Amino acid sequence: MPDPIGQARKLPQYFGVLPEYRGLRFGRQLWRAAMHWEHANCADYQLLQTTASGASDQLCQAEGLADLGFVCTTIV
């Protein structure tokens, strides 16, 4: 999907791993498959949406990504 200045961006992907399958690296494999698709389809960048210090945030950091800041933090 193009952004306002015409760069190709990939919107956040949403997937989950059932509790009984967590810790088996399925989430990491899904994430890497999404990154491969993004690269193969010439996306200039990807938007990521995670909960600070949550499982997806930890996965992104483990894969070498760094956060650029926070848009909104809500404590419920």
pLDDT, tens digit (0-9, with 9 covering 90-100), for 8-63: 888 877 888 899 998 899 989 988 998 888 888 888 888 788 888 888 888 888 98
Model confidence at 73, in pLDDT bands (50, 70, 90)?
Answer: low
- CA 53: distance to chain centroid? 13
Q: What predicted TM-score, i.e. pTM, was given to this entire model?
A: 0.68
CA dihedral (34, 37, 39, 41) positive or negative: negative
**Can you give the length of the chain in residues?**
76
